[in-house]
A = this chain, B = another copy of it.
Amino acid sequence: MDAATATLPRTSGSVDRLVRLAEADMKGVNALITDRMQSDVPIIPALAEHLIAAGGKRLRPLLTVAAARLAASDGAGSENDHCLKLAAAVEFIHTATLLHDDVVDGSQLRRGKVAAHLIWGAAQSVLVGDFLFARAFELMVETNSMKALEILARASRVIAEGEVLQLMRSHDLNLSQAVYLEIIQAKTAELFAAASEAGAVSAGVDAAKAQALKAYGLNLGLAFQLVDDALDYGGTTEALGKNAGDDFREGKATLPLLLAIARSGPREAEFWERAIGRREQTEADFRRARELIVGTGALDATLDLAADYADKAKAALAIFPANDWRGALEDLADFAVSRRT
């Protein structure tokens, strides 16, 4: 089977509409981020800036802002700027987890730049992560929303549990799909869910609408992580992203790999055992793994599952009136699956 034609067509989508709608709000969020990462200890803003200025899509704070604005748009909630502080807090929590993750995994690169711990040392990365985590809670306190604090404290705890679980199980080639999904829900989707729910709560909507936005975030997060894991094997294109192959080289048990192993014949068992189990890899191994992942349908199955979650995310928004914010979040769900990088 040819890799380029092996996959189903995916609904296209884009993050552009959301970015445009949230432009003014995100300016406010970015100003808060810059302001609150300052410290009298100069290494702290320097290290934080290295990672935060490198960008990333700022998806999580975007979700907080969009959830708040959509929640307020139907007249039930109220328009206020608490969501900006919560969005900045969400980005700080995310940045703190990235700093700690990179220490934990010994990663070399983050957002295309040398990982902070390789410049400032692991100790400083751990401590600046702690600083940002605490700052996130200081920002939340300023919004005076105990419910938002509850949501984001819980998410922070679940993320840590997910990271520990991943560290213990991530090289287990017999990992079940259920445990894989548990891990990506904890380490990725919970923060997407919390970011959305906290935004909704800050607008003062009723529980049903807050739950709808939480469900949107959770399913979007699962879709995003599944596609990330697929893109690490090149996704549906032959043009591999700059980090493609990282999971394979680390022998990380992600769904495309787990499905391919389960679907491979006895002839391939030895290959997987050597390349992943013992991590004795040659140059040609990644290409062979990719061929098996495409050939067994493991890549398509992963992307199909992502598309299911994206559909669930969109369906959760049905409780809201059809307007620009809802449309932008629907586009984002499509983008989660259709993106090529």
**Bound complex: CA of A133 vs CA of B103, how far in Å?**
18
Residue from B123, B134, B167 within 8 A of A167 (CB atoms): B123
Contact of A163 with B127 at beta-carbon distance under 8 Å, contacts A137-B153, A146-B146, A153-B134 already known: yes
Residues of B within 8 A of A123 (CB): 103-105, 167
**Bound complex: CA of A40 vs CA of B168, how far in Å?**
13
Contact B128–A160 (Cβ < 8 Å): yes
Nearest B residue (CB) for A97? B130
Residue from B97, B105, B131, B161 within 8 A of A161 (CB atoms): B131
A44 touches B (CB below 8 Å): yes
Residue from B131, B133, B153 within 8 A of A164 (CB atoms): B131
Q: Report the copy number of this chain in the oligomer.
A: 2
A66 touches B (CB below 8 Å): no
A240 touches B (CB below 8 Å): no
Contact of A153 with B130 at beta-carbon distance under 8 Å, contacts A104-B123, A144-B146 already known: no
Contact B43–A164 (Cβ < 8 Å): yes
Residues of B within 8 A of A287 (CB): none
Contact B131–A103 (Cβ < 8 Å): no
Contact B43–A127 (Cβ < 8 Å): no
Residues of B within 8 A of A167 (CB): 123-124, 127
Q: Mark A70-103, 1 if CB is under 8 A from B, else 0.
A: 0000000000000000000000000011001001
A6 touches B (CB below 8 Å): no
**Bound complex: CA of A100 vs CA of B124, how far in Å?**
11
Contact A141–B150 (Cβ < 8 Å): yes
Q: A40-B161, A130-B160 are in contact. List 18 more A-B contacts (CB 8 A).
A: A41-B161, A44-B164, A97-B130, A103-B126, A104-B122, A105-B123, A124-B167, A127-B167, A128-B164, A130-B159, A130-B163, A131-B160, A133-B156, A134-B159, A134-B160, A137-B137, A141-B150, A144-B146
A-B complex: 9 closest residue pairs judged by Cβ atoms: A134-B157, A134-B156, A137-B153, A131-B160, A104-B123, A130-B160, A141-B150, A138-B153, A127-B164
Residues in A lying within 8 Å of B, measured CB to CB: 39-41, 43-44, 96-97, 100, 103-105, 122-124, 126-128, 130-131, 133-135, 137-138, 140-141, 144, 146, 149-150, 153-154, 156-157, 159-161, 163-165, 167-168
